[in-house]
Structure 1
Amino acid sequence: MLKHAAVFLCYACAAVAVLLFGPQWHPLIDQRAAIGLSLAVLLGGGLLHEVYARLGRETFLAQKLLSLRVTQGDALEELSWTRRELSVLREAFESVGGVSKSGKSVDEVIAEVKVLQSLITRLAKSSKAPKQAEEDALEQAARQRTFKGSQITQAKPKAKPHPLRPRPAATPSDQDDKTSALPANANQKPGVLPPVALGLDDSAILEVARQALRDDRIDLVLQPIVLLPQRKRRYYECFSRLRTSDGFMILPEQYIHLAEREGMVTAIDNMLLIRCVQLVRKVQKRNEEVDFFCNISSHTLSDDVFFDDFVSFLESNGELARNLVFEFPQSAYDSWDSSAAIYLRRLAELGCRFSLDGVLDLNIDAAALATRNFHFVKVRVEVLLAEPEMAERLLNDLKEQGLRLVAERVEDEDALVEVLDIGVDCAQGYLFGEPRLARPAA
């Protein structure tokens, strides 16, 4: 109120000054003209004051609306996480057959809820970061609103997002680092991956990733690893794929660098780890002899809180270890720190096996791998065929230590023949099966 009173006094005093001193300032201004000019100054000042007051009121209402919007978002976020925690509790109790069987069942439920709660905390942090950025941006926009004459500029409407389009049929050469390309008729087969969303910019992909984390749209994808020469499916490797609200798929090469930049990649990796463990539990109920390879990235290894809870969970559910094979990239293996070594030793003591992935240097110490409970080494077929002598030497060293060599990206019969000539006993690639969505009841 004081600010408006001061503004009113300013133009009122100006009008009085024109009325009293106008004839003295200019000889052509008589008393009647001075009265007209003073009224014009008073009226013009009043109009400008009204515009100024309306702009101030509009800015105030915009800030209040922003505050209400943020409060509503927080409430919806809390409701979403509460629902997820209740769902987690229900699934945990159902998965162990209820707590009435034994005291050990109670401990198992507590361990699983604890590790999932740690994951939920990580997801909540990932989803709140963009909300804060949006709040800051809106506040900054409100502050920058200024009055220029009587013209008020309006904010331009947001550009419409690019429509999602199915990805054309891929070829084996178009596959990502881990999985093979999809067949042209993939959409016609049950369980195959949905089409890939194309034409999305970085901001749209980030929004899809945030919504996938918030709405639990991270799908588990499996690709078989076969025993040679029988081609028997003995193992499956687990991958994650993000799904849009329209049912399209976002590949890792589309979102991984953005997720790393925004701090979301750890939450995605951890979610994959939990999904893989839940899948193992369901498979064990059917008494199937199938093992699952699950990647543990450097981001997960560096997340001490989650990984400690995860290891404690496996310690409370030791029967899960026999069907789990944790994969580590060669780059992460070469740079393990002491805390990571402690966690991995605890996993090895539980009976978990390890696999070395992403191998580019075939000069590997097989004995050192064996002492750390590694049972598999995965090498791309092109790396093996580029150095056949080194590949044979590596294969012999691995067999002496009881390790298996897995040839990755075997896409055709010619490549398979060359792999068999080397003596490789496991292979993975499009030739043996494309990546498929894991069935919920698997």
Structure 2
Amino acid sequence: MRLKALHPLAGAVTGVSAGAVVAILLPGALGTALGLLASGLGVAASVWTLERRNAAHRELLLAGLGEVKVRLATGAIRIDALSQRIELMPMRDVDAAPARAAINELTAEVGLLGDLIHQVATTLADHDEKLTRLPPAVPPAPQTASIAPEVRLDPEAARREHAEKLAAERAAAAAAAREKAEAERARLVGEALGEGRVEVQLQPIVSLPQRRTRGYEALPSLRIDENTLLMSHEFLDVVEEGGFGPTLDALVLTRALAIARHLASKEGDVFVSCNFSAATWNSSRALAALTRILDRYRDHIGRLVIEMPQAVFRSLDPTSLGLLGAMSANGVRFALDQVVDLRLDPRSLFDRGVRFVKIKAALLEAHADGRVASDIAAGDLAAMLTRASITLVAEAVEDNPAAADMIEFGAGMGQGNAFSPPRPVKPDVFAEPAPAAPARPEPAAPMPSAEVLDYPQPAASAPAEPAPMPERLPFRAVLRRASA
């Protein structure tokens, strides 16, 4: 007889029977004690046998699961080899499509079965681990219905759910990486602005059709390190979001005024223009700070042109308009930039100090072709602005045919790669000029007096007539004559 073949309850039955026999044959307390001891030993033997059998069954189950996983892996390898053979066979795509579809479906089924088997093995392992962690004396908890893991029988649904989960994880990882990169980029931009590592590139603004340089636009760039230079379109969004706009504008304005000082030493009425951020235009405090910078360069602001977006010009508050008028009274000229429509009032623009209107060449061509509705023809815009002493500047002119079109539209000036790309500024432009040595006046030769030469003394000259007072003109007439 094999003991392993007996039922686990055989030990309990044997122990209880032996205990009863001993209690009957040995009367008294000794017989009862020996009977209870025999019964306990029988129950303990049954429990031990039951645990051994459950452990053996679990090991057999896990071994079977492992063997199934190995066979599934072998089957997947064979399916992959079959797929490669089909790809190498000289078949048309139409004939090979059903075979590929069947192989893909079979591969998905094998993968699903492998996932289910792995899930069962993981569940058993977790169950065993939880049982080992239970304390030895735990009151019996009420039995609750165990929730079996949901098993999807649809392989397509399982594959779709797995793909969606992977896509969500990848999207979350990409978003986290993007946020980290943006934070690092904002930190680098803030450090560069704090240390003043702002460089300026100049793009010429030429007269049409002569193509003679009449001005320059100062385009800011940011030096991150020795090998990294960010152009304006690469960091302006970070500057706007981080609130660094007034700081950048102050640095660019200082460099533009230094360029204006350098241009003042050259021949010709050449100007330099620069842009302010939306945060600066919407803050009267920032505009006041820039006004103080202009006061320090009062002798050179006549060669400065400040560009202002059309949307910002239409939304200025009274305080900003007052500061705008103060700048215009001190000699600063303005240019209307980023024009999105041709609904312009030239007289109002001139009264606010606007002397240039910059419109993209593509927008002018769109109006001329009728792709954009407008109340005025593109060819009449230049003449209308000229009557108000405002110059039309066609910007973003990329090639010679576009430049020819801008000449036909009557644009007085042009800007773009068709004339010249932006170029860096020489460092000596920003150097402070050396103070000129004061010239020593030569002593004048003494004039001989009339008494020495025996000439009669000159008669006392009649008092000179007072010079006539200059005619006082209104401020608007002065501005028109200066800009003409």
Q: TM-score under structure 2 normalisation?
A: 0.48
* Kept after mapping to 2: 8 A contact 1:228/1:427: yes
Q: Where does residue 307 of structure 1 map in the other structure?
A: 287
Which structure ranks higher in relative contact order (CA pairs < 8 Å, sequence separation ≥ 6)? 1
Distance 1:265 1:316 in 2: 21
Q: Where does residue 232 of structure 1 map in the other structure?
A: 212
Poorly superposed stretches of 4+, deviation over 4 Å: none
Map 1:375-414 onto structure 2 (within 5 A): 375-388=355-368, 390-414=377-401
Distance 2:296 2:246 in 1: 23
Map 1:240-259 onto structure 2 (within 5 A): 240-259=220-239
Q: Where does residue 190 of structure 2 map in the other structure?
A: 210
1:402 maps to a residue whose letter is S
Distance 1:421 1:227 in 2: 14
* Kept after mapping to 1: 8 A contact 2:356/2:392: yes
* Kept after mapping to 1: 8 A contact 2:243/2:279: no
Q: Deviations over 1:182-203 (max 9, x none)?
A: xxxxxxxxxxxxxxxxxx9323
For the pair 1:420 / 2:443, whether they are aligned, the reply is no
Runs of 5+ in structure 1 lacking a partner?
Answer: 1-199
* Kept after mapping to 2: 8 A contact 1:282/1:441: no
Flag the 1:315–1:259 CA change in 2: closer, same or farther, 3 A: closer
**Greater CA drift, 405-414 or 278-287:** 278-287
Q: Give how far 1:212 is off.
A: 1.2
Q: Give how far 1:243 is off.
A: 1.3
Distance 1:271 1:288 in 2: 26
For the pair 1:342 / 2:327, whether they are aligned, the reply is no
Q: Give how far 1:287 is off.
A: 5.2
Flag the 1:316–1:205 CA change in 2: closer, same or farther, 3 A: closer
Distance 1:413 1:313 in 2: 39
Flag the 1:244–1:375 CA change in 2: closer, same or farther, 3 A: same
* Kept after mapping to 1: 8 A contact 2:189/2:235: yes
Q: Give how far 1:286 is off.
A: 4.3
1:431 maps to a residue whose letter is A
Map 1:5-44 onto structure 2 (within 5 A): none
Q: Give how far 1:316 is off.
A: 5.0
Distance 1:413 1:248 in 2: 32
Map 1:133-212 onto structure 2 (within 5 A): 201-212=181-192
Distance 1:402 1:203 in 2: 47
Distance 2:319 2:419 in 1: 38
Q: Where does residue 438 of structure 1 map in the other structure?
A: 425
Q: Give how far 1:216 is off.
A: 2.2
1:387 maps to a residue whose letter is H
Distance 2:276 2:201 in 1: 15
Q: Deviations over 1:209-229 (max 9, x none)?
A: 122113321111110000011
Partner-residue secondary structure (3-state), 2:288: helix
Q: Where does residue 8 of structure 2 map in the other structure?
A: none
Q: Where does residue 275 of structure 1 map in the other structure?
A: 255
CA RMSD of aligned residues (A): 1.9
Partner-residue secondary structure (3-state), 2:419: coil
* Kept after mapping to 2: 8 A contact 1:362/1:390: no
Distance 2:181 2:292 in 1: 40
Q: Deviations over 1:367-401 (max 9, x none)?
A: 11111121100000010011126212321210110
* Kept after mapping to 2: 8 A contact 1:298/1:332: yes
Q: Where does residue 358 of structure 1 map in the other structure?
A: 338
Flag the 1:203–1:324 CA change in 2: closer, same or farther, 3 A: same
Q: Where does residue 429 of structure 1 map in the other structure?
A: 416
**Greater CA drift, 262-271 or 424-433:** 262-271
Q: Give how far 1:441 is off.
A: 1.7
Distance 1:423 1:347 in 2: 29
Q: Give how far 1:304 is off.
A: 3.2
Q: TM-score under structure 1 normalisation?
A: 0.52
Distance 1:441 1:329 in 2: 31
Flag the 1:201–1:253 CA change in 2: closer, same or farther, 3 A: farther
For the pair 1:219 / 2:206, whether they are aligned, the reply is no
Runs of 5+ in structure 2 lacking a partner?
Answer: 1-179, 369-375, 430-484
Distance 2:216 2:367 in 1: 27
Distance 1:431 1:341 in 2: 35
Q: Give how far 1:289 is off.
A: 3.1
| Matched positions, count | 243
Distance 2:293 2:390 in 1: 27
Q: Where does residue 107 of structure 2 map in the other structure?
A: none
Distance 2:245 2:294 in 1: 22
Q: Give how far 1:288 is off.
A: 5.3
Q: Which has the larger radius of gyration?
A: 2
* Kept after mapping to 1: 8 A contact 2:396/2:417: yes
Distance 1:260 1:397 in 2: 35
Flag the 1:319–1:287 CA change in 2: closer, same or farther, 3 A: farther
Q: Give how far 1:424 is off.
A: 1.1
